[in-house]
Amino acid sequence: MLFPTRARAGSAPAAQPAHAPFAATLVTFVATALLATGQLYGVIPLLGAMGREWHAPASALTWMASAFGLGYAAGFLVFGPLSDRFGRRPIIVTGIAATAVTTALVALSSGLGMAIALRVLQGVTTAAFAPVAFTYIAERAEPRHRPTLLSAVIGAFLASAVFGQLAAQGIAAVAGWRAVFTVFAVAFALVAAALRRVMLPGRPATTGSPLDAYRAMPGLLANRRLIPLYLATPVVLGSFVALYTGLALTGAAGGAAALLTLRAAALPAILAIPFVTPVLQRVPGARRATGAMTLSAVSAALIGLTHPGTLGLALLLNAFVAGVGLTAPALIETIGGRAGAARGTAVSLFTFILFVGASVGPQVAGALSAHGLSVLAYVLAALLALGATLTLTARR
């Protein structure tokens, strides 16, 4: 790992660091976010080809997705606190460079067991980006650009559900499933180089023991100003993944092509989020989170109540996704602002809980989809309403 060097004794104090360049940071962080979370979804179109090659049942192949998700969530608890100790840029650049290697190794898998183990490792190294990137933006971006950057990165995480599958489908159709991971490995190497060039160097946020960040976790989880926000967090991506999984399991969206079309139909909302967020910047983060979760809750309830056709469903999904995309940066802003010097650790906990919720989402959909999309939509609406209530209490 690349560690920052210590200042020489007697040297002049370092000048106040400049703000991160807006356009370059936006492009590189969005590209990295699409690649990173795209690994969770990109394997889905490849499961059939993998199963045929390894003669494995579909039930076993689903672990190719779950294994990455487990490693991804666990890695958040490692890299965010480490970035408090060693600095943001060294952690992100080293982690993404390592991801280029772990992604290439998946392409060399000789069997399903080996591939699952490598997918866990790939998830862990990929996790170096998200929590540290959020903290870096909060610390180094110009204040007026922070909401836009946060929203753009969150939007890229959501858009990766479409990007990852489309990219994997296209590459696999031409060169096979192993080529997908090879191409992604090259892409990770390129963005690692870009991140090293674009991100500002900086001294570590803390100078104590690396364990200090982990010792701060119990206190953060017991902080009465943070508890409601952390409790509301799993609903954000959990509801997003559950609803789209439910669309597939219930057949309400039609076939696979129709489902992919509906996912793509939500892209206008995702693309609009970075432009809308600066307009809402004057509204306190907890209040924005309450309003955004309420928007998603109402949209989910209307999906269950109205049984809309394809066009109506696409419109309601846009509103639902807009709510999700606006909630996450508002929660990051609020949690980071209330965590003080433990900002990196607090954001890591947020990201961990966020993606644990995403991992639980398919299980919720699997348990409720047998009763139809309406029942699932009503349950998600209730959970989102509960989340909105929690963020409302956090304002106090």
Q: What is the pLDDT of residue 191?
A: 97
Query: Do 20-200 and 208-396 share a fold?
Result: yes
Contact 90, 203 (CB under 8 A): no
* φ/ψ bin of 51: left (φ > 0), alpha (ψ from -120 to 50), beta (otherwise): alpha
Provide the whole-model pTM. 0.77
What superfamily does domain 208-396 belong to in CATH? MFS general substrate transporter like domains (1.20.1250.20)
| C-alpha closest to that of 122 among 145, 136, 137, 105 | 105
Contact 3, 90 (CB under 8 A): yes
Q: Which residues contact 132 (CB under 8 A, 6 or more apart)?
A: 79, 80, 83, 88, 91, 92, 95, 344
DSSP assignment of 211-253 equals: HHHHHHHHHHHT-TTTHHHHHHHHHHHHHHHHHHHHHHHH-TT
Contact 76, 95 (CB under 8 A): no
Q: What is the pLDDT of residue 265?
A: 80
User: Domain extents for the chain?
Assistant: 20-200, 208-396
Contact 71, 122 (CB under 8 A): yes
| C-alpha closest to that of 199 among 356, 389, 1, 19 | 19
DSSP assignment of 32-43 equals: HHHHHHHHHHHT
* CA 67/CA 324 separation, integer angstroms: 25
Q: What is the pLDDT of residue 119?
A: 95
* CA 359/CA 115 separation, integer angstroms: 19
2-9 contacts, C-beta under 8 A, 24 or more apart: 2/90, 2/93, 2/94, 3/86, 3/87, 3/90, 4/86, 4/87, 4/90, 4/201, 4/202, 4/203, 4/204, 7/203
End-to-end Cα distance, the chain: 42
Model confidence pLDDT, tens digit, residues 361-383: 877 887 887 888 899 999 999 99
CATH architecture of the domain covering 20-200: Up-down Bundle (1.20)
How many residues are listed for the chain in this entry? 396
Q: What is the pLDDT of residue 60?
A: 79
Say which amino acid occupies 105: L
* CA 325/CA 337 separation, integer angstroms: 19
Alpha-carbon distances of 146 from 31, 79, 135, rounded to whole Å: 17, 21, 10
Q: What is the pLDDT of residue 15?
A: 52
Q: What is the pLDDT of residue 300?
A: 95
**Per-10-residue mean pLDDT for the chain, 396 residues long?**
42 59 94 93 84 83 82 86 84 97 96 94 94 88 87 86 85 93 97 96 65 81 92 92 80 71 80 81 88 96 85 88 90 87 81 83 80 92 96 81
Find where tokens 């991804």 sit: 72
